[in-house]
A and B are shown apart, each in its own frame.
Chain A
């Protein structure tokens, strides 16, 4: 089948089915996905190693309660034994990896008797809800504002939206969160005599969700809007837009099928980092609004030196971000036909 003079064909050594697979775009896509998934492994491993090393290079043992009552030596020895901390570091490491592969992230130091998995599982729905809400805000609002600003370039609408975007992008999450609480919870309560205000914290599937989601979404909205605007302005100047007009297409088609289809491509590539931002942002937002999610659990774990918890959440976050990046990259291949998967 592959006998030609000179170099054998690319698929010469593979059975017939796989040959066709490598040459089709669908086939290359599958290989690409597999390669990326495999690449995730060293990344996550690296994260685990670094975190593990950091944990074990800390001064003092995890049982030193800063400013609290010191535990007796006997208790400490028992705890060390229980958590396997008296074993050599390497052994601890391999034990940990082994457990992770079985989805066992160990027991929390802080909350006696609860496994890390349990605690994460408990916090997961809260974090995910806010995250999804924020995401649902970011895409339409961010992209929408960007397009609006681009189509009305140099008008007041443009300056207003971009000015807003710059402001929102510069004020950190917790600042915005705190300011929002001041305004919407404290001041509005005072001004409307308790009638209309937003709750400053806690959980409920109602207006409790508004401020956390908006706070989390604000910076990505700003960033997305700016990028969308820049990309759209760049696209409008292209020759093929002139061709589209010259064909007599109505404005609607020109904007949607020619301008947006091209200008939104770079925006999609930023969805990965946006997602990562939502993850790290959840740490802050959950603290400000006292939401019992994973982000807050992470902060608590850090301050109380709950190492298994720290390790577990860090690994989880890294995996989630890596998966999100993978999904975005695959999506990108679908929307831009020029991309080659070599």
Chain B
């Protein structure tokens, strides 16, 4: 295993209370594999990534847990060690390339300094390599573009430049936080293609954070689903898409409108709002919004991650497979609630689009 995150807790100590942004997260990434991390805004996926690089802004702190990269615990690294680690062993590319690039420094310099900072490349070697990297991410006219400033690049090109910057030191793990969210739809497709290709070429491991399910389907082998700072489901991509077991995952997949489905009256969305992380709901954190909630979900402590299929785990008392197998008449004796059973009669099964 390349990266092993064990029971990570990252909290923010604000004047309104302690925000448990990452509340006991355990997962791993193997060398060369692409892991998808999905969930809605505020579920803790970005903070998890920032924790791996120890870039948590004030007033946040990693309060407990271990992050093992090739066996070394990142949380215990010295300042010098972590500086060497960042951008070198693990690199991160951020969501909004316009604000994530220094507006008054040339693009070429910014990529170059990523390389020279780690003393792996001297300046004479780094400079031509920057041009090579830009070519690799398919920035046109790379030789002259190197001297441009970020505002002279288009949105898609800026993201490519950020990818080039991330890959410049050939990291073992690349963390991509919503790489396509800030871009136009047409450009998104290009970037996805680029990332697929680079992935194949470089064989680096990648942690892809997104709420775009199509992206996940396209690029990832495994995915973890996060909600309110915890992992609620984890497993291989096809399995998750074909038979999601946690109601939240199921809802996420259902809420993606599909072109080939019959037109519905409304877009399906998950009712309710994400929980207040300073005062999370008791029991299962998803229960206020869950269509299949039963009393146990409210009353008992939060369920643990249980294996629900080969290589797939989920954190739920009900589970989708139980929900689907019960009929409406047996709803009273089973774990299902009546309203949920009614809903199940109308709802089509979740499907994966394409592959």
Residues of A within 8 A of B (CB): 238-240, 242-250, 253, 257-258, 261-262, 265, 335-338
How far is B53's CA from A242's CA once the two chains are assembled, in angstroms? 11
- Across the interface, do A246 and B55 meet the contact criterion of CB distance under 8 Å? yes
- Across the interface, do A247 and B103 meet the contact criterion of CB distance under 8 Å? no
| Chain A residues in 8 Å Cβ range of B122 | none
Which of A239, A247, A249, A261 gathers the greatest number of chain B CB atoms within 10 Å? A247
| Chain A residues in 8 Å Cβ range of B88 | 248
Q: Is B208 in the interface zone, CB < 8 Å from A?
A: no
19 examples of A-B residue contacts, CB within 8 angstroms: A240-B100, A242-B55, A243-B94, A243-B102, A243-B162, A244-B102, A246-B92, A246-B94, A247-B91, A247-B113, A248-B85, A248-B87, A248-B117, A253-B117, A335-B104, A337-B104, A337-B151, A338-B104, A338-B151
Contact with A along B81-120 (1 / 0, CB 8 A): 0011111100110101001111111000000011001100
How far is B85's CA from A262's CA once the two chains are assembled, in angstroms? 26
Residues of B within 8 A of A (CB): 53, 55, 57, 83-88, 91-92, 94, 96, 99-105, 113-114, 117-118, 149, 151, 162, 165
Chain A contact residues: helix, strand, loop or mixed:
helix
How far is B151's CA from A303's CA once the two chains are assembled, in angstroms? 55
* Complex: chain B residue closest to A235, CB-CB: B102
B80 to chain A, nearest CB (A): 9
| Chain B residues in 8 Å Cβ range of A261 | 102, 104-105
How far is B88's CA from A337's CA once the two chains are assembled, in angstroms? 29
How far is B91's CA from A109's CA once the two chains are assembled, in angstroms? 75
| Chain B residues in 8 Å Cβ range of A253 | 113, 117
* Complex: chain B residue closest to A335, CB-CB: B104
B62 to chain A, nearest CB (A): 15
- Across the interface, do A247 and B117 meet the contact criterion of CB distance under 8 Å? yes
B103 to chain A, nearest CB (A): 6
How far is B118's CA from A253's CA once the two chains are assembled, in angstroms? 13
| Chain B residues in 8 Å Cβ range of A265 | 104
| Chain B residues in 8 Å Cβ range of A262 | 102-104
- Across the interface, do A243 and B113 meet the contact criterion of CB distance under 8 Å? no
| Chain B residues in 8 Å Cβ range of A245 | 55, 86
* Complex: chain A residue closest to B84, CB-CB: A248
- Across the interface, do A336 and B104 meet the contact criterion of CB distance under 8 Å? yes
Known: A242-B57, A261-B102, A338-B151. 10 other contacts (CB 8 A): A239-B94, A242-B55, A243-B101, A246-B53, A246-B92, A246-B94, A247-B86, A248-B118, A249-B117, A265-B104
Which of A239, A242, A245, A246 gathers the greatest number of chain B CB atoms within 10 Å? A246
How far is B354's CA from A198's CA once the two chains are assembled, in angstroms? 85
| Chain A residues in 8 Å Cβ range of B96 | 239
How far is B53's CA from A1's CA once the two chains are assembled, in angstroms? 55
- Across the interface, do B87 and A247 meet the contact criterion of CB distance under 8 Å? yes
